[in-house]
C-alpha cells in the first residue's frame, strides 16, 4: 500500500459525458501528479500540482482539467469523453516535485471505460 | 511527449536466471527511477537513482544511472516466479522538468 488513494476504482460511462476522478496523496506529500496509461500510449504524464498550484503540464488535453484543494486532495475532470479516453488513470504523490530528488508513489488507479 | 526507449519489450526466462533491461533517452534527466507494475495495480517504486554514475542495489535488484544522464539499466539476479510483471523506467526532472516513462519490459519467469 503506497498510501495514495484513488476513487472510484472503476468507472463506466458514455461518450460525451463528464467524469471526475479523485486522489488523496500520502500524508505529508505536497505534490500530486496525474498520469494516463493506455495500451497504445503507455504511461503519459498529464499534470502536476504542488500545494494547490499547477506546477507542470504534460500531455493533457484541453477537455481535461485538474485542481488541488487546500486539504491537498486532487481531482481530475474529464469532459466530452471519447472512446479513446478509455484508460487507467493514476495519481501519484511526492513531498516536493520534479526538480527535487524525492520520488513519486502511485495510487492503485481508476479504470475508465467509455462506451 | 517523447517517451524513453526501453528494451527489451519482453523477456521469457527460466527461474534462477539473471535479467537485464535498459532505458535510453535523447534528453538529460536528474533522476532515474525503476518501477514494477502488476496487473490491475499502480506502479511500485523499486529503485531511485539521483547521481550520474550511481550504482544502487535493492536485494536482488541492481540499477545504474548512466554517466551521460541519458540512460539507465536494471539487473535482476536469480529470478523467481514473483518477479513476473512489467518493469518501467522513468526519467525525472532535467531539461523538460517533467517525467517520462519507457514503454515497459514484460517479464515472464518459468518455474
Which residues have CB under 8 Å from A7's CB, separation 6+? Answer: A21, A22, A110
Contacts B48 to A, Cβ<8 Å: 103
User: A23 or B4, which is more confident?
Assistant: A23
Q: Do B93 and A103 lie within an 8 Å CB cutoff?
A: no
| pLDDT tens column, B84-107 | 999 999 998 777 677 889 999 999
**At residue A4, does pLDDT exceed 80?**
yes
* Cell (9 digits) for A107: 495510487
Output the CA torsion sign for A113, B2, B6, B8: positive
Tell me the pLDDT band of A101, cut-offs 50, 70 and 90. Answer: low
* A8 prior amide bond cis, ω within 30: yes
Q: In what order do the strands lie in the sheet with A64-68?
A: A5-7, A19-24, A74-78, A64-68
SS (H, E, C) B74-95: EEECCCCHHHCEEEEEEEEEHH
| pLDDT tens column, A21-31 | 999 999 999 99
Residue B15: half-sphere exposure toward Cβ, Cα within 13 Å: 5
Strands B85-93 and B31-37: antiparallel
Q: Do A56 and B50 lie within an 8 Å CB cutoff?
A: no
Q: Do A98 and B101 lie within an 8 Å CB cutoff?
A: no
- Name beta bridge partners: B42: none
Per-residue model confidence (pLDDT) at position B95 = 73
Query: In angstroms, what separates the C-alpha of B97 from chain A's closest C-alpha?
Result: 6
Contacts B101 to A, Cβ<8 Å: 42-45
- Collect all residues from B whose CB is shorter than 8 A from any CB in A: 1, 3, 30-31, 33, 35, 40-45, 48, 50, 88, 90, 92-93, 97-104
Q: Do B93 and A109 lie within an 8 Å CB cutoff?
A: no
Per-residue model confidence (pLDDT) at position A59 = 81
Burial of residue B20 (number of CB atoms within 10 Å: 0-12, 13-18, 19+)? middle
Report in angstroms the alpha-carbon separations of A52 from A49, A61, A70, B24, B31.
6, 20, 6, 33, 24
| pLDDT tens column, A80-93 | 999 999 999 999 99
Mutate to test the interface with B, among A42, A87, A90, A96 (most CBs of B within 10 A): A42
**At residue B1, does pLDDT exceed 70?**
no
Q: Return d(Cα B100, Cα B89) in angstroms, integer.
A: 8
**At residue B76, does pLDDT exceed 60?**
yes
Torsion on CA atoms B29, B47, B65, B73, rounded to nearest 10: -110
Tell me the pLDDT band of A5, cut-offs 50, 70 and 90. Answer: very high
| pLDDT tens column, B11-54 | 999 999 999 999 999 989 989 999 999 988 889 989 999 999 99
Amino acid at each position: 500500500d503506497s498510501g495514495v488513494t484513488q476513487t472510484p476504482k472503476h468507472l463506466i460511462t458514455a461518450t460525451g459525458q463528464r467524469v471526475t476522478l479523485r486522489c488523496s496523496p500520502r500524508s505529508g506529500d505536497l505534490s500530486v501528479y496525474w498520469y494516463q496509461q493506455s495500451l497504445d500510449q503507455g504511461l503519459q504524464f498529464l499534470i502536476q500540482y504542488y500545494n494547490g498550484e499547477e506546477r507542470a503540464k504534460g500531455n493533457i488535453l484541453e477537455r481535461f482539467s485538474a485542481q488541488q484543494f487546500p486539504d491537498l486532495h486532487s481531482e481530475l475532470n474529464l469532459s466530452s469523453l471519447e472512446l479513446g479516453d478509455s484508460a487507467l488513470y493514476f495519481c501519484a504523490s511526492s513531498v516536493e516535485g520534479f526538480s527535487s530528488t524525492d520520488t513519486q508513489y502511485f495510487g492503485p488507479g481508476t479504470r475508465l471505460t467509455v462506451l | 511527449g517523447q517517451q524513453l526507449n526501453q528494451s527489451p519489450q519482453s523477456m521469457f526466462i527460466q527461474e534462477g536466471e539473471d535479467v537485464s533491461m535498459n532505458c535510453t533517452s535523447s534528453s538529460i534527466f536528474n533522476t532515474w527511477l525503476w518501477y514494477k507494475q502488476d496487473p490491475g495495480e499502480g506502479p511500485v517504486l523499486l529503485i531511485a537513482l539521483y547521481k550520474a554514475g550511481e550504482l544502487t542495489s535493492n536485494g536482488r535488484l541492481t540499477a545504474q544511472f548512466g554517466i551521460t544522464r541519458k540512460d539507465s539499466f536494471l539487473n535482476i539476479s536469480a529470478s523467481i516466479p514473483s518477479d513476473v510483471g512489467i518493469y518501467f523506467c522513468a526519467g525525472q526532472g532535467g531539461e523538460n522538468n517533467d517525467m517520462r516513462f519507457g514503454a515497459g519490459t514484460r517479464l515472464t519467469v518459468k518455474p
